[in-house]
Amino acid sequence: MNFDISSEQQILKDSVDRFVQDHYELDKRQLLVLTEQGFSTDNWQTMAELGWLGVSVPEAHGGFGGNEIDTMILMEAFGKGLVLEPFFASTVLGAKAIADGGNEALKTEMLPGVVEGSRQLTLAYAEAQSRFDLEDIITHAKSDGEDYVINGHKSMVLHAGSAQQIVVSTRTSGGQADKAGISLFLIDADAPGVEITSFPTVDGQQASEIKLEGVKVSSARLLGELDNGYELLNALATAGILALAAEAVGAMEILYKDTVAYTQEREQFDHALSDFQVLQHRMVDMFMEYEQCKSLLYRATLEVVQNSAGAQRSVHALKYYVGKMGTFIGENAVQLHGGMGTTEELRIGHYFKRLLVIDAQFGNSDHHLALFAA
Amino acid sequence: MDIDLSSTDLAFQQEVRDFLTTNAYKNGTDYAEWRLNWFKLAREKGGWDVTKWPEKFGGPGWSPTQHYIWEQETAVAQTPWDLPFGLSMLAPVLMSYGNEEQQDRFLPDIRDRKVNWCQGYSEPNAGSDLANLKTKAVLSEDGTHYTVTGTKIWTTLAHIADWIFCLTRTSDSGKKQEGITFLLIPMKQAGIEVKPIITLGGAHTVNMVHLTDVKVPVENRVGEEGKGWGYAKGLLAHERTGLAGISKSLAALENLRKQAGEVKRGNGTLLDDPSYRAKLAELEIDLLATEFTELRSLASAANGAEPGPESSILKLKGTEIQQRIQKLTVEAGGIYSAAWGPMPVGHLFARGGMSGYLSSRAYTIYGGASEVQRDVIAKNVLGIKKSQSK
């Protein structure tokens, strides 16, 4: 049993911490938020040069061949900086879908570009009616000779506006909420019949609604098995939850530490706010829940890496707890900063918004509590 | 990073399991005899009777992982009852601050479970503010003995104790943490009166202890006069980390799930009730988190590091979890939880449920109330200093 990261991972951590420190002051970040694509192409290239975009891509395809612990190290640091580049959509979700589910030719065609930063991917899994159920899919793909034809509507797809390819979950058989009969395809964002409408999300990131009308895709672009795509989709959700939880833990650390610092500076009633026990105890609770989230993050991540029997339950436990405590820590950070906490000027509000969005992705707190209890 | 047990640890786990199975209590045999023999056999294994003692004093010198395995295994196996007062609370103080003569005099009897100790810390006006204690110890002019007068309260099992280790006041000057002296006092003597206090669960566990002109030889003073607070503080830290009880709570939760599965509700059982189910799930998740917080804390201790910030939360989280398990046991008992005493009604588990729940309210009060724990974390972990008020 050992909770220390390896010396290689320490080097990774040092470099990503430095990147966040150098490039993610709040002012700089907020300027990026206002750009059309919502992130910096220079930063994206730096991430590629440092090998991060291929962190989980197999070495055979130009990647680093790392596991969920390496991704956790990057995402926790990104959480501390509220990093905007679409690493999560492209590497954690998109590249994994191809690496785990694509044929050799497709991997050779797609993955090197992802690693080099010239190709950006994303995953379209949600639909308007599906809420948090991955298997609730109306969008359907119909066989047409060597091809499939996709019709439907995908919701809240991260960074689809700047992606070249999109992994789409579709129904190829079965009823709307069946786990059987799901198939994943990789489509080109500029294919005929794909209509992408992009908009900002509350946390300063970008998402899109995607209309698919008679979109033709070759059967060579099938990811995973025909009709048995749920397993791959769930594996992507698991990887997504671990990565988002790591990002959330990074954001929580900033929130509780900023609050401790602010209450020691701010004076009211001739005292620093931190002199008041009621506030001290609230901050202790924020700190404790941050540590508990970190413990569950380690637990779930290590169990997934080691393929332990309880891994799936631990992932549910993690997403439940991070959702609940992210809200708790965020709300209290705002509360303890008083009026200033409610403004866009301080950075804490931005971290709070990111935690709220993380709760809503891949199933919120209630959803995962129900799955854990089932 | 990994969570595998090494092959050495797995072999150790098997050895512990074998020992606990082989030496489990067999119905119909004499319990007291089995108990003492169990400790003897554990001692022969190489200090398994004093698992937390350092090797120098006969302990097994286990790694933190081995301690964790022991906790896990003993939480589900039947082991003889044991008391922490001499073994885990006084012994470390004697090992660190007692002289060799005191170590030779007291440690063997503690190890053999021959002598029962109790802890004389709290007083009617010194609870969370322990340093406010007033029990007076006056040194005789010839310097041979102290005369002790005062009242101790919440003294667990004072009524069966042979000795009490006591914090007493030998000086009123300076800060109140100064002038406190650590004395060892035999219980069975004139001038000591033990009065029972019955707590909400109906049990007689704690007492009030009056000391009136009790003579204590100076040989029974641990360390220097006036330095007792420092000795006791180390001990309190020790007490706090021992109170999380994660392995026991995991076993208790399993048990609770089984009990709830026996309670009929509609066409199913209580486990089919979504709100009860959700409470069980939330409790289990808190336990999964706290278990890993403990493992992180053990791992940093294994590296010889000071306990990290994560260790400070174990007492708080651990005791809250224990209380919630008790509460859910009462809820599972339903209307029968109201029956008091040894009534032959309802589910077996429900009979002790309410009493257990009421007793558990003390968990977040003793060993430093949860509010005091939060004060300590705010100061020592978050680094919040009192500002200069204007």
Average pLDDT over residues B231-252: 75
Residues B53 and B178 in one domain: no
Does B332 lie in the same domain as B262?
A: yes
Q: How many CB atoms are closer than 10 A to CB A199? A: 10
Pairing state between β B163-169 and B180-186: antiparallel
| Residue B252 sits in the same domain as residue B359 | yes
Whether residue B303 and residue A281 make contact (CB cut-off 8 A), yes or no, is no
Look up the CATH number of the domain holding residue B371: 1.20.140.10
The answer to the question of residue B390 being in a domain is no
User: A299 at the B interface (CB within 8 A)?
Assistant: yes
Flag whether B110 is in a domain. Answer: no
Question: Residue A219: what pLDDT?
Answer: 97
Partners of B117 in the β-ladder: B163
Of the partner residues B289, B300, B378, the one whose CB lies closest to the CB of residue A295: B289
0.90 surpassed by complex ipTM = yes
The percent of residues above 90 in pLDDT, for chain A, comes to: 99
Domain boundary among B227, B258, B293: B227
**Mean pLDDT computed over B47-71:** 92
Residue B144 has pLDDT above 70, yes or no: yes
B20 shares its domain with B131? no
**Confidence at residue A271, expressed as pLDDT on a 0 to 100 scale:** 95
Residues of A in contact with B278 (CB under 8 A): 369-370, 373
Residue B61 lies in a domain: yes
Measured from the Cβ of residue B228, the count of other Cβ atoms closer than 10 Å reads: 29
d(CA A49, CA A61): 16
Q: What is the mean pLDDT of residues A128-142?
A: 97
Q: Is B386 on the interface with A (CB under 8 A)?
A: yes
| Cα(A179)–Cα(A137) distance, integer angstroms | 9
Torsion angles phi and psi, residue A369, rounded to 5: -65, -45
Q: Residue B139 is part of a domain; what is its CATH number?
A: 2.40.110.10
Residue B389 belongs to some domain of the structure: no
Contacts with B303 from chain A: Cβ below 8 Å: 4
**Confidence (pLDDT) at B306:** 65
Among candidate residues A255, A368, A215, A234, the one with its CA nearest the CA of residue A304: A234
DSSP assignment letter at A342: T
Shared domain check, B132 and B178: yes
Higher pLDDT, B385 or B223: B223
Identify whether B202 is part of a domain.
Answer: yes
pLDDT of residue A129 exceeding 90:
yes
| A321/B281 touch (CB, cutoff 8 Å), yes or no | no
Same domain as B136, residue B221? yes
| Beta carbons within 8 Å of A179's beta carbon, 6+ residues apart | A135, A230
Whether B370 and B252 map to the same domain: the answer is yes
Indicate whether B243 pLDDT > 60. no
pLDDT at B239 over 60: no
Q: How many helices (H) and strands (E) does chain A have?
A: 13, 10
> Which residues from chain B sit within 8 angstroms of residue A314, using beta carbons?
288
B26 part of a folded domain: yes
Mean pLDDT on A179-193: 98
pLDDT per residue as tens digits for the range A84-125: 999 999 999 999 999 999 999 999 999 999 999 999 999 999
Q: Is residue B55 part of a domain?
A: yes
**Same domain for B255 and B143?**
no
Please list, in sequence order, all residues whose beta carbon lies within 8 angstroms of the beta carbon of residue A42, skipping any fewer than 6 positions away: none
Domains of chain A: 7-119 (1.10.540.10), 122-227 (2.40.110.10), 231-373 (1.20.140.10)
Per-residue model confidence (pLDDT) at position B301: 72
Q: Distance between CA B207 and CA B159 in Å, rounded?
A: 7
Same domain membership, residue B374 and residue B279: yes
Q: Per the CB < 8 Å rule, is B289 touching A293?
A: yes
Do the beta carbons of residue A141 and residue A185 sit within 8 Å? yes
Residue span of the structural domain in which B22 resides: 7-82
Domain count, chain B: 3
CA distance to partner chain B, nearest, from residue A246 (Å): 15
- What mean pLDDT comes out for the span A3-16? 95
Length of chain B in terms of residues written:
390
Closest to B115 measured CA to CA, from B163, B60, B172 = B163
Alpha-carbon distance of B19 to B38, in angstroms, equals 10
Measure in Å the smallest separation between the Cα of B143 and chain A Cα atoms: 45
- B284 catalytic? Reply is no
Residue of A1, A69, A277 with shortest CB distance to B4: A1
- Which residues on chain A are in Cβ contact (under 8 Å) with B286? 292
Residue A23 tokens read as 């490039």
Residue of B148, B146, B147, B103 lying closest to B123 (CA atoms): B148
Residues B175, B270 share a domain: no
For chain A, give the mean pLDDT: 97
Q: Are residues B146 and B267 in the same domain?
A: no
Q: For chain B, give the percent of residues with pLDDT over 90.
A: 74
| A-chain residues near B5 (CB < 8 A) | 1
Q: Are B353 and B321 part of one and the same domain?
A: yes
Pairing assessment for the beta strands B136-139 and B180-186 based on DSSP bridges: unpaired
Query: What pLDDT shows up at residue B305?
Result: 66
Per-residue pLDDT tens over the stretch B73-109: 999 998 999 999 999 999 999 999 999 999 999 999 9
Q: Is B270 within 8 Å of chain A by CB? A: no
- Identity of the residue in B4, B9, B371 whose CB atom sits nearest the CB atom of A306: B4
Question: How confident is the model over B163-220, as pLDDT tens digits?
Answer: 999 999 999 998 999 999 999 999 999 999 999 999 998 899 999 999 999 999 999 9
Which pLDDT tens digit goes with each residue over A236-261? 999 999 999 999 999 999 999 999 99
Which residues 6+ apart lie within 8 Å of A18 measured at CB?
none
What pLDDT shows up at residue A15? Answer: 97
Both tokens assigned to A157: 């797809």
Picking from B72, B275, B384 by the largest number of A CB atoms within 10 A of its own CB, the best residue to mutate is B384
Residue A116: C-alpha distances to residues A88, A223, B259, B301 (Å): 15, 22, 57, 42
For residue B318, what are the CA distances in angstroms to B289, B297, B331? 11, 14, 20
Question: How far is residue A185's CA from residue A168's CA, in Å, rounded to a whole number?
Answer: 5
Within a domain: B108 = no
